Amino acid sequence: MIDLRSDTITRPSAAMRRAMAEAEVGDDVFGDDPTVRRLEERFAGLFGKAAAVFVPSGTMANQLAIRAQTEPGDEVIAHAESHVVHYESGAPAALSGVTLRFADGPRGTFGAEAVRALVRPRDTHYGPTALVTVENTHNRGGGRVWPIEQLRAVREECLRLGVRMHLDGARIWNAHVASGVSLAEYGSLTDTVSACFSKGLGAPVGSALAGDERTIARARRFRKMFGGGMRQAGVLAAACLHALDHHVERLAEDHAKARALADRLARVPGVTIDPAQVETNLVYFEVDPRFGGADTVCARLGAAGVAVLSEGPHRVRAVTHLDVAADEVERAGEVMARALA
């Protein structure tokens, strides 16, 4: 089976396992795990932030960012297709007591004018707009990298309106490699930034959230409240440090594999895909209804030896990653073409 369901299915390499086995550990809830502290300091430094907190998942990182920067009854602006809307189990309402107001725009992006139109006026009838979230790269936008000038314009509008901003950077590493924009520049355009180590970077567990000291202190308290406090977490942090050392720049290989797969799928009758829109490692394509829908297509491809995900009635997602080589992706493209013929 060639597994293209997600970049979360990667397994730690032998070198990463050795780093985990040799990690110096303590009790992270007490703040004395040296490997976790080293990871948090490095992560904060990469994005030019004062502090960071290590957490089990990207969902927790996003939800801590929301809870630490809002109060119950506040409103948060997010793109209608964003991860915090679709894949976090209603957590903004359940954990932070906030409501979401949806921005719209192509492939998961929006502009300063959308923020200007959605921020509530200061009036007792409305829940105050406290936070704007952006997702880079944007998952349901097909791995879209936010244009840096557009991101900067949104940031400037947030500053003008006195609204904080969070960057859901689960795949910010991919955005950095694809665009050449530094992590520090991305960090300078937002109050908080989260990133995942267990997707393209291949670590088994872990994300982090960075920001100013006060915000991260609040996030650390809420991490404990939400059940995310970990003890000898240095074994996990060591995997993340190894990933930062060895697996960031190689993401360009995943991007090249994704473009090659998109080029092959574009030649399959009944498949709709624009290879030019494949900027990173996510490949989304639409299948003709005569194939029976995305679920049927995924089952057929799975039976043929390629695992992919259904993302809508006729939309399918394939993801290239560390655990699939270029020749495997090429073979997957041929298998998919034959199965759909």
The model's confidence at residue 141, banded by pLDDT at 50, 70 and 90, is very high
- What separation, in Å, do the N-terminal and C-terminal C-alpha atoms of the chain show? 20
Q: Write out pLDDT tens, residues 271-303.
A: 999 999 999 999 999 999 999 999 999 999 999
Q: Write out pLDDT tens, residues 158-215.
A: 999 999 999 999 999 999 999 999 999 999 999 999 999 999 999 999 999 999 999 9
Q: Which helix (H) or strand (E) holds 310?
A: strand 309-310
Whole-number pLDDT of residue 289: 94
Provide the residue count of the chain. 341
Whole-number pLDDT of residue 55: 98
- In this prediction, residues 54-80 reach a mean pLDDT of 98
Whole-number pLDDT of residue 222: 98
Q: Is the pLDDT of residue 255 over 90?
A: yes
List where CATH 3.90.1150.10 sits in the chain.
Answer: 250-340
For 250-340, the fitting CATH number among 3.10.20.30, 3.90.1150.10, 3.30.1490.20, 3.90.920.10 is: 3.90.1150.10
pLDDT > 70: percent of the chain: 100
* Backbone phi, psi, residue 180, to 5°: 80, 0
- In this prediction, residues 27-38 reach a mean pLDDT of 97
Mean pLDDT of all residues belonging to the chain = 97
Q: Please give the full DSSP string across 62-73, using - where no structure is assigned.
A: HHHHHHHH--TT
Judge if the upstream peptide bond of residue 137 is cis by omega within 30 degrees of 0.
yes
Whole-number pLDDT of residue 341: 83
Q: Is the pLDDT of residue 47 over 90?
A: yes
Instruction: For the domain made up of 12-246, give the CATH fold.
Output: Aspartate Aminotransferase; domain 2 (3.40.640)
**8 A C-beta contact, residue 28 and residue 231:** yes
Q: Please give the full DSSP string across 85-151, using - where no structure is assigned.
A: HHSSTTHHHHHH--EEEEE--GGG---HHHHHHHSPPS-TTS--EEEEEEESSBTTTTSBPPPHHHH
Whole-number pLDDT of residue 46: 98
- In this prediction, residues 65-76 reach a mean pLDDT of 98
The model's confidence at residue 252, banded by pLDDT at 50, 70 and 90, is very high
List where CATH 3.40.640.10 sits in the chain.
Answer: 12-246
Whole-number pLDDT of residue 199: 95
